[in-house]
Amino acid sequence: MGVKSVMTVVSFVAKLLGWLLILLFAIAGGMIWGWTEIDDQRPQMMKVGAWQSDPAIGSVGASAKLRASVARWGLLALSREEAIYFTAHEDQWGEALREECSYLVEGTDPQARWWSLTLYAEDMFLAQNKDERHSVSADNVKRNFPRADGRGSWQVEIRGNAPANADAADWLSSKNAGKFDLVLRLYNPDPRIQEDFSAILLPTIKQLSCEGMG
Amino acid sequence: MRNLLIAILVLLVGAVAGRWVLIQFYPNFAIAAVYYSMQQREKTPEGWLHVDPIDETSRTVVRPAYDLLYSVCNADLANSGYYISLPPESDYTSISVYNASSDNIFSINDQDPKWQKDGLQLIVSGRDQAESLQNADPKPDAVINTNSPFALIIQRRIIRDRDQLSELEDKRRLTRCLPLS
């Protein structure tokens, strides 16, 4: 084999490697593009007040993007026949929920066999603060005007430090939670609301005050 | 000029392909990661991994429900199906099955009339196993075909009062999730 032939082969291999590098670079870029899409906590979900959800969560019929988003933000979610999930990242006025502020969540018992409201820190796990105030549920929330069927209206305060009457009050701790979110779970939801999420009685989230803002 | 056009085309095709692969298969990666991490942990003789009550140190699956007690059964369906049995329950209990694509393909809870009356018997099957398992003895209430090499089976119970956890612990120890062969 002559020098010319060797040079031709080397040139061909170099070109091939160049194209391969471009392709790998493009694939990596595409994966980063895909990741930013599923890392966005607000995919094309339906929004009711401060809350968002999607009837297709957990189902085989969900779009690829929704399935990826659920795998990222709520792996092992149940389909709506068993449970409906609503997530809130913002208050009623569209401001991100954050530990520097306190909030009042007010609602009535949603139309389900059982429900819970849980606060998750920015890393999607329970906030590490030793306050043991991560969640309230249909079992332990204090209702203002209890009705005969046990349902009624309730209020829960979210704050970074314990209120004066910490044992008596309904409150969730946002200490060390950063930009947190709230997840409302409805177990065995009424069949009517499974078909129409907009008919669900969802709580309101109002900001009370923020540190350094008076 | 021709090379530049080809480079742009390769970049576009590669980027679209990369995005597609990630979005399409991320759920598979995520559930496989949980499946294999659970695989390393010790199970009870009844086949379940009874997860400790969730607290702020729980870091395996994102957004765990603080008010639920979880048990997980890692079903390796490559060679055989799994048989699940639970006695009748007096409070919210559910069984849900997730395939290797992370889809919740089956759920049932304690309000099911058959479960309330006689308890629940299920078979979870892998690829090409469902038909042969329809006539298994004892006959199950349902055969769930995952069409997957593995499945995660999750048992959930409501913790109404953390002081009564020992009762829930006793109840979940009466349940089974074992390979058929």
Query: Is the pLDDT reported for residue A36 higher than 50?
Result: yes
The predicted pLDDT at position A214 comes to: 45
Shortest distance between the Cα of A214 and any Cα of chain B, in A, equals 31
What's residue A118's pLDDT? Answer: 96
Average pLDDT over residues A189-208: 88
Q: Give me A190's structure tokens.
A: 């009424």
CA distance A115 to A185: 5
Return the number of CB contacts < 8 Å for A and B: 168
Give yes or no for a contact between A111 and A192, defined as CB atoms under 8 angstroms apart: yes
Find residues 157-176 of chain B whose CB sits inside 8 Å of chain A.
Answer: 158, 160-161
Q: Is a pLDDT exceeding 80 seen at residue B131?
A: no
Helix (H, G, I), strand (E, B) or coil at B90: coil
Give me the pLDDT at residue B117, please.
Answer: 92
Which of A85, A125, A185 has the most B C-beta neighbours within 10 Å, making it the best mutation to test the interface with B?
Answer: A125
Which residue in A90, A102, A95, A93 sits closest to A210, CA to CA?
A102
Question: What is the model's pTM?
Answer: 0.86
Residue A1 pLDDT: 64
- Mean per-residue pLDDT, A188-208: 88
Question: What's the burial of B10, exposed, middle or buried (CB within 10 Å: 0-12/13-18/19+)?
Answer: middle
Q: Is B89 exposed, middle or buried (0-12, 13-18, 19+ CB in 10 A)?
A: buried
Look at residues B141, B144, B172 and name the one whose alpha carbon lies nearest to residue B156.
B172
Q: Given B22, B30, B31, which is nearest A31 (Cβ)?
A: B22
CB contact under 8 A, B15 and A127: no
**Using an 8 Å Cβ cutoff, are B98 and B154 in contact?**
yes
For B153, the token pair is: 């089976």
Rounded percentage of chain B residues whose pLDDT exceeds 90: 72
Q: How confident is the model at residue A177 (pLDDT cuts 50, 70, 90)?
A: very high
| β-bridge mates for residue B57, sequence order | none
Confidence of residue B156 (pLDDT cuts 50, 70, 90): very high
